[in-house]
């Protein structure tokens, strides 16, 4: 896997939202440019305390240090809602296994049992929590609450940067949004292995906010075949635009392909991803941008082998079924193509 480190991602200071009109205008211009030109940026001034960040990283490490038998009590294959733990090599990206172990949670809700309802309704439901680490639930629930507030503030700032009403995207977000947290540990691989921590992909929601440790590995495809390293930067999140915003702006905003290269053997990478999604029963419209922006819209880029759908629930379910064949086979047999 080759990369280039010639391009540095822009740094956006969200605290400028509280500044004077000149600073707010500066933020809008920087945010629009970053979200369009690269689709990735560092976010500082987000307001999440260092203490909470350290606590989340510590509890994530404690989870991954549990014996494998304990982690497997909450394995994702038990959950029709795609919640829980996966060993390295279980999740699939572009047909190849990702060498990372991970723990996924979503919004804690009652499962929907409507026999004649669409299959994506089964995505809603409770999380699995390991009884041997009870603190995990409290910490991640707080993290989800605080990260949601930051992500919504950023989403509304993006709307303003596009000359849309501040709450233009709120109807898509809805009252039952599809939020998602993923704790991720990338074990090291020898140089003779695939090197795929996670394969090249785009994210499907509105926004992703990623907390990195000091081990690099995240790479962004800034132009076809040209990759740049996203070097960890203390005190920041790495933010990327998801396919929902690419669809909603007819490609004016850019959902960018990215990947993670495994660390060297005997090293590891720990990250915590927060995904801000939309309500599952919504359909993504094309928002009316000002003429000057609309003329620069490139159209949403859709992979013929994995086409984008404007129906949020179906688009999200499609991705989960492709990535998690164990869950698909057990709980979604009607989609089994074997």
List the one residue out of 248, 271, 283, 235 whose CA is nearest residue 98: 271
Residue 9 has pLDDT above 60, yes or no: yes
Q: Which CATH class is domain 11-335?
A: mainly beta
- Mean pLDDT lowest for which of 47-51, 139-143, 264-268? 264-268
User: pLDDT tens digits for 228-270?
Assistant: 999 999 999 999 999 999 999 999 999 999 999 999 998 999 9
Q: pTM to 2 decimals?
A: 0.95
Mean pLDDT of 304-324: 87
The domain ranges of the chain are: 11-335
Q: What is the pLDDT of residue 193?
A: 81
Residue 1 has pLDDT above 50, yes or no: no
User: pLDDT tens digits for 221-238?
Assistant: 999 999 999 999 999 999
Residues 6+ apart with CB under 8 A from 75: 84, 85, 86, 87
């Amino acid at each position: 896997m080759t990369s280039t480190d010639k391009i540095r991602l822009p740094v956006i200071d969200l605290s400028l939202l509280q500044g004077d009109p000149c600073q707010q205008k500066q933020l809008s211009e920087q945010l629009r440019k970053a979200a369009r030109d690269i689709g990735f940026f560092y976010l500082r001034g987000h307001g999440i305390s260092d203490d909470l960040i350290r606590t989340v990283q510590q509890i994530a490490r404690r989870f991954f240090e549990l014996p494998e038998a304990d982690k497997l009590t909450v394995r994702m294959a038990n959950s029709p809602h795609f919640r829980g733990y996966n060993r390295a090599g279980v999740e699939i990206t572009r047909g190849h296994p990702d060498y990372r172990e991970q723990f996924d949670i979503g919004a804690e809700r009652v499962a929907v049992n409507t026999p004649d309802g669409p299959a994506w309704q089964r995505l809603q439901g409770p999380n699995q929590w390991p009884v041997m680490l009870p603190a995990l639930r409290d910490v991640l629930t707080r993290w989800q609450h605080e990260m949601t507030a930051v992500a919504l503030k950023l989403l509304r700032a993006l709307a303003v940067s596009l000359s849309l009403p501040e709450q233009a995207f709120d109807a898509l977000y809805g009252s039952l949004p599809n939020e998602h947290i993923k704790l991720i540990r990338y074990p090291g691989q020898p140089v003779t292995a695939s090197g795929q921590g996670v394969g090249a992909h785009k994210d499907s929601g509105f926004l992703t906010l990623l907390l990195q440790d000091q081990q690099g590995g995240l790479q962004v495809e800034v132009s076809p075949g040209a990759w740049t390293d996203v070097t960890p930067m203390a005190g920041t999140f790495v933010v990327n635009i998801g396919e929902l915003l690419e669809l909603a702006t007819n490609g004016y905003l850019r959902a960018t392909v990215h990947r993670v290269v495994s660390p060297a053997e005997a090293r590891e990478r720990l990250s915590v991803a927060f995904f801000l999604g939309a309500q599952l029963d919504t359909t993504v419209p094309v928002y009316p941008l000002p003429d000057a922006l609309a003329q620069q819209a490139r159209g949403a880029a859709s992979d013929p082998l994995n086409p984008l759908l404007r129906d949020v629930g179906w688009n999200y379910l499609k991705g989960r079924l492709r990535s998690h064949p164990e869950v698909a086979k057990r709980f979604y047999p009607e989609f089994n193509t074997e």
